[in-house]
Amino acid sequence: MSEKKVYQCEDSLEGILTAVYDAWSSRNGHGNNEIRILSGDYQGNMELFTEYIIVKNSEEKISKVIKAVYEKISSEAYELICSAACSCEQSRGDDIYRFLIVGFSVGREIVDQLHNKYVMRIFELTRNVSNEAHHLKGFLRFQEIEEGILVAKIAPKNDVIRILAPHFSDRLCQENFIIYDENRNTAIVHGESKAWFYTDSSMLDVDRIKNISEREESIDIMWKAFFQTISIKERENKNLQRNNLPIRFRSNMTEFE
């Protein structure tokens, strides 16, 4: 009887794909394997008679998995995996592993097999990530700091910052701007007429980006006054407002400060 093996990987797409390679090549039986993402102190429930394996990222293994997905499933399946890896769900590593088991069995038709619970799960994760990114495209607020750089702070559940980057770099290509994820201490940095790049907080002075310019302060005051003035008290509907603009998005929106 095979022993259960839990592959504990880094919290990234690269970590998940390396764990998929290791689990697949173990020949331990897919039912005896599980992929868990190491995130902070979380390690999941420890079980008896289980081997725990720490997975180290390997570019060679990552490349092999990506190549296999493209050749044996489809590019659409790879895009689904990338999006699902941005989810906040702790099970996303194992969900991707189960999805790929089905994918390597049925090929490109996997995206039509919504009756399969593993396929449906990946679509759920992807939809959740996509919905939050869509919300933030409308709810994200930039403020100008003293150096003349535009800064937007967000606190999303899912890791959507890299999904937002192409949208804003396309619309603000002539601006220097930063989008900062408070929950993960990561950021997108875009220079005027340059390509954006992704970085962690070690490159940022987080306290410095909180110092907004005097011009921004006056604009904020006018924006708040406009927001309050345009409201018609007799037609206020707080429930509808919460449905269209959930409270968790408001902490970094100027008009709700």
Q: Label the pairing between strands 33-37 and 4-9.
A: parallel
- Count other Cβ atoms within 10 Å, centred on residue 33: 22
Q: Which residue has the higher pLDDT, 236 or 120?
A: 120
Exposed e or buried b for every residue in 220-256, given b needs 16+ CB within 10 A?
A: beeeeeeeeeeeeeeeeeeeeeeeeeeeebeebebee
Distance CA 17, CA 97 (A): 8
Contact partners, residue 246, CB within 8 Å, separation at least 6: 135
The pLDDT tens digits for 96-129 are 999 999 999 999 999 999 999 999 999 999 999 9
Task: Give the single-character DSSP code of 141.
Answer: -
Q: Which helix (H) or strand (E) holds 53?
A: strand 50-54
Is it the case that residue 45 has pLDDT exceeding 80? no
Is it the case that residue 43 has pLDDT exceeding 70? no
Place of tokens 């593993």: 118
Whether 105 and 24 have beta carbons less than 8 Å apart is answered as no
Whether 78 and 6 have beta carbons less than 8 Å apart is answered as no
pLDDT of residue 42: 65
The pLDDT tens digits for 143-190 are 999 888 999 999 999 999 999 999 999 999 999 999 999 999 999 999
β-bridge mates for residue 200, sequence order: 186
Distance CA 253, CA 239 (A): 18
| Mean pLDDT, the chain, integer | 92
The tokens describing 191, both together, are 């220079």
pLDDT of residue 233: 86
The one-letter code for the residue type at 20 is: V
